[in-house]
């Protein structure tokens, strides 16, 4: 997604709260089920908007089988919701969530910018650390800090529900090599039903960037179809970061 790192920064900064530090065990990133249906943005979350994209995806809290979840509807649009956190992925490496997709983005394509649209995706952003980047990148990050008041994330992982690439596929985002795309689910076999997922963010970061991760600085959800001009509907259930299995 165009400008993803700067946009993630701007949206998380808009929360205006001190970053949260998860305690040992588990941290509820998105406790949507505890909210009442009807609100546009869950507590603790902020809109994730992109420059030069006028049409935004609609998000709302709705009841689904008696449980409050986030409904996302994109109509040739793109935007997301993001939550600012600060969590050590070594202590809580497992990202667990559930999602449901009503239909796929037919022209979605992991390899192209035009096809960088997905029925559902979850971003995990990692905190900027100047010791990890080149002098040139420190200059670039400094420019972004001057514009937004904070440094952008160091890197990100985007877990997606793809259209045709098989689950397990990984690739760099079509717009930046600082975001690793990981296909968690693909195709139409599970359309219309809730699916539970879990990923070891620590292992995924190490595999993607060949280094130890800095703290997690934010989590975002996004349903988008601006590049393909399609319409897609998806739902997001509770999102948690939990400790490793014992």
The per-residue pLDDT for range 57-84, each reduced to its tens digit, is 999 999 999 999 999 999 999 999 999 9
For 87, other C-beta atoms within 10 Å of its C-beta total 24
CA angle 200, 154, 198 (to 5 degrees): 15
Looking at residue 48, its pLDDT comes to: 86
Instruction: Name every residue whose Cβ is closer than 8 Å to that of residue 65 and which is 6 or more positions away in sequence.
Output: none
Looking at residue 152, its pLDDT comes to: 57
Looking at residue 136, its pLDDT comes to: 52
Q: What is the mean pLDDT of each run of 10 residues along the chain (246 residues)?
A: 50 43 74 91 87 90 96 95 93 97 96 94 85 56 46 81 96 88 97 98 96 93 95 98 83
Residue carrying structure tokens 């949507």: 32
For residue 103, the enclosing domain spans 4-242
| Phi, psi angle pair for 145, to nearest 5° | -60, -40
| Residue 30 DSSP label | E
Looking at residue 229, its pLDDT comes to: 96
Instruction: Name every residue whose Cβ is closer than 8 Å to that of residue 95 and which is 6 or more positions away in sequence.
Output: 122, 124, 159, 198, 199, 200, 201, 219, 239, 240, 241
| Residue 53 DSSP label | -
Note the residue count of the chain.
Answer: 246
d(CA 68, CA 43): 13
| Phi, psi angle pair for 7, to nearest 5° | -65, -40
CATH code assigned at 43? 2.60.120.260
SS3 of 184, please? strand
Do 14 and 46 meet the contact criterion of CB atoms below 8 Å apart? yes
- Among residues 121, 130, 91, the alpha carbon closest in space to that of 216 is found at 91
- Sign, CA dihedral 186-110-42-78, equals negative
* Longest CA span, the chain: 52
d(CA 87, CA 28): 11
Provide the H-helix boundaries in 117-179: 135-148
Looking at residue 24, its pLDDT comes to: 54
- Per the structure, how many domains does the chain have? 1
Looking at residue 141, its pLDDT comes to: 52
């Amino acid at each position: 997604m165009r400008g993803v790192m700067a946009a993630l920064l701007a949206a998380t900064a808009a929360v205006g709260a001190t970053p949260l530090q998860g305690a040992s065990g588990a941290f509820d990133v998105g406790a949507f089920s505890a909210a009442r249906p009807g609100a546009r943005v869950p507590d603790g979350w902020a809109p994730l908007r992109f420059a030069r994209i006028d049409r935004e995806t609609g998000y709302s809290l709705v009841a689904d089988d008696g449980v409050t979840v986030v409904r996302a509807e994109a109509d040739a649009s793109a935007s997301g919701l993001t939550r600012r956190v600060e969590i050590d992925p070594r202590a809580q490496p497992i990202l667990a969530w559930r999602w449901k997709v009503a239909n796929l983005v037919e022209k979605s394509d992991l390899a192209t910018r035009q096809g960088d649209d997905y029925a559902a995706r979850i971003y995990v952003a990692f905190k900027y650390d100047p010791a990890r980047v080149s002098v040139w990148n420190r200059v670039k990050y400094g420019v972004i800090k001057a514009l937004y008041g904070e440094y952008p994330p160091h890197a990100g992982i985007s877990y997606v529900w793809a259209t045709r690439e098989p689950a397990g596929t990984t690739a760099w985002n079509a717009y930046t090599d600082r975001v690793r795309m990981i296909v968690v689910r693909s195709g139409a076999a599970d359309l219309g039903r809730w699916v539970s997922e879990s990923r070891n963010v620590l292992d995924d970061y190490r595999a993607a960037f060949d280094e130890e991760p800095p703290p997690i600085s934010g989590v975002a959800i996004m349903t988008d179809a601006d590049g393909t001009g399609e319409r897609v509907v998806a739902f997001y259930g509770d999102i948690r970061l939990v400790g490793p299995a014992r």
